[in-house]
A and B are shown apart, each in its own frame.
Chain A
Amino acid sequence: MNKYSGFGLLKHGLSYHENWQRAWRNPKPKAKYDVVIVGGGGHGLATAYYLAKVHGVTNIAVVEKGYLGGGNTARNTTIVRSNYLWDESAHLYEHAMKLWEGLSQDLNYNVMFSQRGVLNLGHTLQDMRDIQRRVNANRLNGIDGEVLDTQQVQEIVPIMDCSANTRYPVLGASWQPRAGVARHDAVAWGYARAADALGVDLIQQCEVDDIITEDGAAVAVHTKQHGLIKADRIGCVVAGNSSVLAKMAGFSLPLESHPLQALVSEPIKPILDTVVMSNHVHGYVSQSDKGDLVIGAGIDGYNGYGQRGSYSTIEHTVQAIIELFPIFSRVRMNRQWGGIVDTCPDACPIISDTPVENLFFNCGWGTGGFKATPGSGHVFAATLAKGEAHELAKPFSMFRFNDGSLIDEHGAAGVAH
């Protein structure tokens, strides 16, 4: 792998950029791998990368039915934060946060991780109690966080309407300075390039249509384009289609698939320097480095696999944004889109072994998977390498729904849902 640098850019510039190497190969699949990872999104690619880098397992294929990073990695609103309420999730997301903090250098690919801070607004007394509780928990868990009052929020976001005249006045916020946004596509590409350099086969346009089991153990995946690919262990990281893959293996997951939409404005000059999220009025917004206001909507109530959603959801979201930022009323919305999120009943992911031996699932991240990408890949890689859950992944077993050890991150964690 040729190292990327400013100097390299100059050098390539002088040769008209004719000599750039491929960021990753386009290999034909082998008959058998140590590990096959189904799903070439951010989480799957990160899993492959850490398997190869940390655990020395390099005989790996990532099979992807479309193109790398084309699912929810390509569709999210790029927010990264770790201010979760419960210890289990806080530790997992903070693990991810620490990896984010050196990720560009580790991958030699600038994922443009911008630690511009995230505000979670409170609009009711109960919101503020929840914020206090969460920030206290964060601090005692070693995660940065502060509770801000209205005045302090206004200082950070001067353009927001923090007056008492709004329908739900801003009473305060939690503030995580280390949180921020990253360039979502670059995360997938950076992991793909680094994994490829370690020998991982990235196989695009390769759709798994069956998981082959023998004596209760998974032995291969069957693909539409390349037939059987055998593997000692199989990891499924297929947000939006997890239940479909589980069905192939003969079990069901406690997941519901919902459309989740997002939208962007036309690019405008920098005006919003941080990420603002509000559960109560139900919208969140940041401004991309390109200048678009990137706005997240809530999930649609019904289930579905079409990567589109209901217009009414868009309307409610835009209303929320204008409620917070009335000055954006004349700015224009450029584009909307949807992804499919797999949501768990307790709003926490599943990183787990399954009823089928040698088959592992990493799924159920709901609306908030992007921020976990490095941590998710890191712990799932360990899980796949050792055949048992990484310490941080243990609480996220799919069997928690049988015994009731749920980690309910609804509401109190500022999970935007």
Chain B
Amino acid sequence: MTQNNRLSSGGRIDRSQPLTFTFNGKQYQGFKGDTVASALLANGVDIVGRSFKYSRPRGVIAAGAEEPNAILQMGATEATQVPNVRATQQELFDGLVCQVTNGWPSAEFDVMGLVGKAGGSFMPPGFYYKTFMYPQSMWDTYEKCIRKAAGLGRSPRENDPDIYDHINQHVDVMIVGGGAAGLAAALSASRSGARVILADEQAELGGSLLHASESIDGRPASEWAAEVIAQLEACDNVQLLPRSTVNGYHDHNFLTIHQRCTDHLLDCAPIGQARQRMHRVRAKWVVLATGAHERPLVFANNDVPGCMLASAVTTYIKRYSVVPGERLVLMTTNDSAYQAAFDWAESGRFVVAIVDTRAHPGGDVIDEANRRGLKVIAGSAVIEVKGSKRVTGVSVSAINQLGDKALGPVKHLTCDTVASSGGWSPAVHLSCHTGSRPVWRDDVIGFVPGNSQQKQLTAGAINGTAALSTCLQEGFQAGREAAINAGFDTVPSISLPKVDERHIGAAMALFHIPHSKPTSRAPKQFVDFQTDVTAAGIEIATREGYESIEHVKRYTAMGFGTDQGKLGNINGMAIAAKSMNKTIPETGTTIFRPNYTPVTFGAVAGRHCGELFDPKRYSAMHSWHLKNGALFEDVGLWKRPWYFPQAGESMQESLNRECKAAREGVAILDASTLGKIDIQGKDAREFLGRIYTNAWAKLAIGKCRYGLMCGEDGMVFDDGVTACLADDHFVMTTTTGGAARVLEWLELYHQTEWPEMEVYFNTVTDQWSTMTISGPNSRKLLSELTGDIDLSRDAFKFMDWHEGTVAGVPARVFRISFTGELSFEVNVPANYGLYVWEKVFEHGAKYNLTPYGTETMHILRAEKGFIIAGQDTDGSVTPIDLGMDWCVSNQKPYSYIGKRGMNREDCLRKNRKQLVGLKTKRSDVVIPEGSQAVADPNEPVPMTMLGHITSSYYSACLGRSIAMGMIRDGFERMGQTVYYPQPDGSVIEAEICSPIFLDPKGERQNV
């Protein structure tokens, strides 16, 4: 097929750059500067899709963001598929591949179309709520069929090869829309020196100026636009962003701009370039110059391919040099649409008639139509379209001036294109994103932006302004005002150019064209094309009591399409209002929300995917762990060594070896990931006392103490050891996963509850590398590495810390133990971490120093009955439940967080769930963690659960399995048997015991 509908000259396309593209497997030609839609129309393609519910053939209806029909699947490869591309917004490039999203075997001949024809009358809005219920068992089958009909395009099945960027911007004036008002605003704002961003969704700035018939200062409007754009481009303080849609306007003047960087070039971005970019903009002031969308009229069979918006006809002719048909009938309620007929006639094709719904249209355009010899049929309307795959003609009838009755007689006109215009709806979407409700204006016949809480101005057609001169004036004014408001005092005013424009006559408020039959019996009159919502459907909804406009929307699906009702919503609201004898403002609008047009998920995510989804934190010794075969566990953001398997070992064998090394020789753990918070200030000590449940008043310099932290509810949420460095200086350790949360917690309490306290917090987790050397030989090993710390039992007592050097590096050494063995925790500046670690191994070789990971750490501490906050606790246990009353002080002169909570009636109850040890009857059976305990394994479901297993291991040192768990009234049930039913039906029997399995007197650490 050749480009039959392409005129031989004119338009803004580049005829020197012909492009080849594929649509539905067939090759076509277009030009650089085309959209996919303009290229398809140039080639005479009528059907671009099948409708969702009735499978009716559909053609291109609009030329911009409001297009509901031309929604294509695009992509040359599986990985580059993009579903639901709006053909009117996608620029053509060479090699572009696209196809329709619905229709089998093809959109031209769709089998489902027959079903739509036959069954259409039985699929009113919400029909699925009324059927598919009986028999109940069939619903799954029904739903499969319903789902099959769902969706437009398809998701790719392979991963996206492209990358996406984010950029943060701060500007004085953000201007949305690069049409007449937006350009004017940018020009005047830029003169003040303010930093300005002007974003427009189209490839070319200029908006309607690019195809306007008016002249500015005696030249075509497009020339004026080009000159202004050139001036703006020359300004350092102005950033022009074409192909950039402001898709969301959020609180505090935060806007997001979705920029398509390479979608107009290739299927997939060139290597090294981002396909799209999200600008996250914080603006001092915002000027919305978003223009307006033309409304189509609602009439019978108004969805037959060949039915278009009047302004779209003009756009295709003037910008793309495409006339989408031979014989035009134009129906309008206003003057602006006449231009489409003039453009049509000028391109040498035939205007059958201009059907004007107004009885006495009176603007300059009428004279011009007469001058051009075009036939104007006033006081009439196109009540019905003939044709199925393309318009073949229309029925025209006189209508009354209320617009609710076709008076007849009905005349038939032969044509292949019907352009319609019901006036213009201001594009209030972004204004509404901020929570502002739009306001109806009878003179505009549309909603304009309501009061805004944001620092926001509006200019141009968004205000309902029709005349170009006024749009420019509003633009200049808004740009100037925004700059002044943003703090720029010298803003030169710009003299308004002279615009040669027509006198505009009054428009008629008409949305729904009456038919000679009632709406319920007339052929379908479409309101929302993409979701197949008809005028009759809206009437059914209100008849059934779905009267709120939100109910109408949700019941009929009006506005649920990918255009979010840009084309049809106002018509739908008008029809709903009429059917309930209400006014449009009484009925109101649904709420416009982001996105203005759909945004690629990848662009929203930016680079924060895959490797960069969350930062990975590594200790300074990570490379050593890798070299030594560690497997890793994710704990918080950290990659912690889980265990260090040696060749041929099973996991349990590795753990057995690591555990035995710690108990019998010497072993080492990388504990760098534990949170470390440096706390200073004269009130630091008291602050600790308020945060922790235990006492801190007497902790001497050089001493450490274990502490428990609770929430306000009295439930344990973190724990760790804190050392006293000076009377006003402490270092707190936290769990690895809880570090950030604890720091926030301290800050929260300090900043909001106790701001009078002088205390400062700083995370030092990354500043220190921590290695725990544990086992009977630990003192011997460490003494080889330090000359200035006396490690002897009496000089360096349990829970002491000393400063000195280890391997020649300044170090803080703590004698604390999470394993129950003699144990030293060596802290050195992180930059020396790996060096010291390797030095320890140099000396440790003769002791068979063994590295161990988190799993062995868990076993060793469980043998001693030490808890892990977050594993043995779950936000529902008090210190008392853990048997840790020794860690709660009620002697403090002030309260502490959680005191009141844990002293509530239910928390003091005797038979709460309590942490106990559990020994299985069979010593080799390890109870799976998470198993639930019951007293009677034969009780029918639902069973009475007593508690669950929190930690469970095979202990090589004890030669049997051990477990910790919560048991209701556990402290009183020592020696009793409980049962753990397993998913496979088996039951594990265990005896309740003390959770301290090894060395209950704590002698081992005291050697």
Q: Once the chains are docked, how many angstroms separate the CA of A297 from the CA of B904?
A: 35
By the criterion CB–CB under 8 Å, are B545 and A129 in contact? no
Q: Once the chains are docked, how many angstroms separate the CA of A13 from the CA of B536?
A: 12
User: B635 CB to closest chain A CB, in angstroms?
Assistant: 7
Q: Once the chains are docked, how many angstroms separate the CA of A25 from the CA of B547?
A: 11
Asked if B754 CB lies within 8 Å of chain A CBs, one says no
By the criterion CB–CB under 8 Å, are A308 and B251 in contact? yes
By the criterion CB–CB under 8 Å, are B942 and A124 in contact? no
Q: Once the chains are docked, how many angstroms separate the CA of A130 from the CA of B156?
A: 34
Contacts of B876 in A (CB 8 A): 406, 408
By the criterion CB–CB under 8 Å, are A26 and B545 in contact? yes
User: A153 CB to closest chain B CB, in angstroms?
Assistant: 16
Asked if B614 CB lies within 8 Å of chain A CBs, one says yes
- List residues of B (79-118) whose CB comes within 8 Å of A's CBs: 80-84
Name the one of A16, A408, A410 contacting B520, with C-beta atoms under 8 angstroms.
A16
Q: How many residues of B contact A (CB 8 A)?
A: 116
By the criterion CB–CB under 8 Å, are A331 and B601 in contact? yes
Known: A311-B248, A337-B593. A9 touches B127 (CB 8 A): yes
Known: A326-B609, A330-B602. A124 touches B633 (CB 8 A): yes
By the criterion CB–CB under 8 Å, are A404 and B907 in contact? yes
Q: Once the chains are docked, how many angstroms separate the CA of A296 from the CA of B633?
A: 28
Q: Digitize A360-402: 1 where CB-to-B-CB distance is under 8 Å, 0 elsewhere.
A: 0000000000000000000000000000000000000000101
By the criterion CB–CB under 8 Å, are A4 and B129 in contact? yes
Residue of B nearest to A102 (CB): B136
Asked if A137 CB lies within 8 Å of chain B CBs, one says yes
Known: A13-B122, A319-B608, A406-B876. A168 touches B614 (CB 8 A): yes
Asked if B647 CB lies within 8 Å of chain A CBs, one says no
Q: Once the chains are docked, how many angstroms separate the CA of A140 from the CA of B943?
A: 5
- List residues of A (107-141) whose CB comes within 8 Å of B's CBs: 108-115, 123-126, 129-137, 139-141
Name the one of A87, A125, A268, A270 contacting B83, with C-beta atoms under 8 angstroms.
A268
Name the one of B151, B520, B546, B595 contacting A18, with C-beta atoms under 8 angstroms.
B520
By the criterion CB–CB under 8 Å, are B904 and A403 in contact? yes
Q: Once the chains are docked, how many angstroms separate the CA of A253 from the CA of B518?
A: 54
Asked if A34 CB lies within 8 Å of chain B CBs, one says no
User: B627 CB to closest chain A CB, in angstroms?
Assistant: 20
Contacts of B121 in A (CB 8 A): 13-14, 16
Contacts of B606 in A (CB 8 A): 315, 319
Asked if A269 CB lies within 8 Å of chain B CBs, one says yes
By the criterion CB–CB under 8 Å, are B435 and A327 in contact? no
Stretch among B548-556, B723-731, B772-780 lining the A interface: B548-556
Residue of A nearest to B633 (CB): A125
By the criterion CB–CB under 8 Å, are B133 and A159 in contact? no
Q: Once the chains are docked, how many angstroms separate the CA of A8 from the CA of B127?
A: 10
User: B65 CB to closest chain A CB, in angstroms?
Assistant: 13
Known: A132-B930, A269-B153, A404-B905. A110 touches B129 (CB 8 A): yes
User: B861 CB to closest chain A CB, in angstroms?
Assistant: 15
User: B416 CB to closest chain A CB, in angstroms?
Assistant: 30
Contacts of A114 in B (CB 8 A): 139, 143
By the criterion CB–CB under 8 Å, are B155 and A327 in contact? yes
Q: How many residues of A contact B (CB 8 A)?
A: 115
- List residues of A (274-295) whose CB comes within 8 Å of B's CBs: 281, 288-291
Q: Digitize A244-260: 1 where CB-to-B-CB distance is under 8 Å, 0 elsewhere.
A: 00000000000000000
Asked if B901 CB lies within 8 Å of chain A CBs, one says yes
Name the one of B133, B280, B604 contacting A108, with C-beta atoms under 8 angstroms.
B133
Asked if A12 CB lies within 8 Å of chain B CBs, one says yes
Stretch among A42-50, A184-192, A211-219, A231-239 lining the B interface: A184-192
Name the one of A166, A318, A330 contacting B610, with C-beta atoms under 8 angstroms.
A166
Name the one of A21, A308, A318 contacting B435, with C-beta atoms under 8 angstroms.
A308
Contacts of B949 in A (CB 8 A): 133
Asked if A17 CB lies within 8 Å of chain B CBs, one says yes
Q: Digitize A164-205: 1 where CB-to-B-CB distance is under 8 Å, 0 elsewhere.
A: 001110000000000000010110011000000000000010
Closest A-B pairs by Cβ, 10 of them: A132-B930, A291-B151, A404-B904, A133-B930, A67-B548, A329-B160, A332-B598, A329-B602, A4-B130, A291-B150
- In the assembled complex, 25 residue pairs joining A and B whose CB atoms fall closer than 8 Å, in A order, are A4-B130, A6-B134, A9-B124, A20-B543, A22-B543, A67-B548, A110-B132, A110-B133, A126-B870, A135-B930, A204-B548, A265-B601, A266-B84, A266-B598, A267-B151, A269-B153, A271-B154, A318-B601, A319-B608, A327-B156, A329-B162, A332-B84, A405-B905, A406-B713, A411-B874
Interface residues of B (CB under 8 A from A): 75, 80-84, 121-122, 124, 127-134, 136, 139-140, 143, 146-148, 150-160, 162, 164, 248, 250-251, 254, 256, 280, 433, 435, 518, 520-521, 536, 540, 543-548, 550-551, 554-555, 557, 560, 562, 564, 591, 593-595, 598-602, 604-606, 608-611, 613-614, 616, 633-635, 712-715, 870-871, 874-876, 901-902, 904-907, 928-932, 934, 941-943, 945, 948-950, 981, 983
- Not counting A270-B150, A288-B150, A311-B256, a sample of 15 additional A-B residue pairs whose C-beta atoms are within 8 angstroms of each other reads A4-B129, A12-B124, A25-B545, A104-B133, A141-B942, A190-B129, A267-B84, A268-B151, A289-B147, A315-B605, A327-B156, A328-B155, A329-B609, A336-B595, A406-B906
